[in-house]
Amino acid sequence: MSKLDIKQLRKVYNRGTDTEIVAVDDLSLTVDDGEFLVFVGPSGCGKSTTLRSIAGLEDVTSGSIRIDGRDITGQKPKNRDIAMVFQNYALYPHMTTRENMSFGLRVNSMLDDDEIDARVNEAAKMMGISELLEKRPGTLSGGQQQRVALGRAIVRDPRVFLMDEPLSNLDAKLRIQMRAELETLQNKLGVTTIYVTHDQTEAMTMADRIAVLDDGKLQQIGTPLECYYKPANQFVAEFIGSPTMNFLTVERSGNRLVHDAFEFVVSNDTVDLCGDRTALVMGLRPEDIDLGGDETTNAVSGIVEVIQPTGDDAYIDITIGDDTVTLDIDPEQSVGVSVGEEITVSFDEEGVYLFDPQTEATIKTNTELEPAGPDGSDALDTTTKP
Burial label, 337 (beta-carbon count in 10 A; 0-12, 13-18, 19+): middle
H or E stretch covering 173: helix 172-189
The distance of Cα 52 from the centroid of its chain, to the nearest Å, equals: 18
Rounded to a whole number of angstroms, the minimum distance from the CB of residue 42 to ligand ADP is 7
**Would you list the DSSP string of 63-131?**
EEEEETTEE-TTS-GGGS-EEEE-TT----TTS-HHHHHHHHHHHH----HHHHHHHHHHHHHHHT-GG
Rounded to a whole number of angstroms, the minimum distance from the CB of residue 138 to ligand ADP is 28
Binding site for ligand ADP (CB under 6 A): 13, 21, 23, 41, 43-49
Rounded to a whole number of angstroms, the minimum distance from the CB of residue 103 to ligand ADP is 26
Rounded to a whole number of angstroms, the minimum distance from the CB of residue 9 to ligand ADP is 12
Q: Which one, 54 or 123, has the nearer CB to ligand ADP? A: 54
Q: Which one, 18 or 114, has the nearer CB to ligand ADP? A: 18
Q: Which one, 17 or 358, has the nearer CB to ligand ADP? A: 17
Rounded to a whole number of angstroms, the minimum distance from the CB of residue 172 to ligand ADP is 21
Q: Alpha carbon of 263 to those of 252, 255, 353: distances in Å?
A: 9, 10, 15
Q: Which one, 133 or 207, has the nearer CB to ligand ADP? A: 207
Amino acid in position 199? D
Phi, psi of 184 (to 5 degrees): -60, -45
End-to-end CA distance of the chain: 27
Q: Which one, 45 or 55, has the nearer CB to ligand ADP? A: 45
Rounded to a whole number of angstroms, the minimum distance from the CB of residue 169 to ligand ADP is 15
Q: Which one, 212 or 314, has the nearer CB to ligand ADP? A: 212
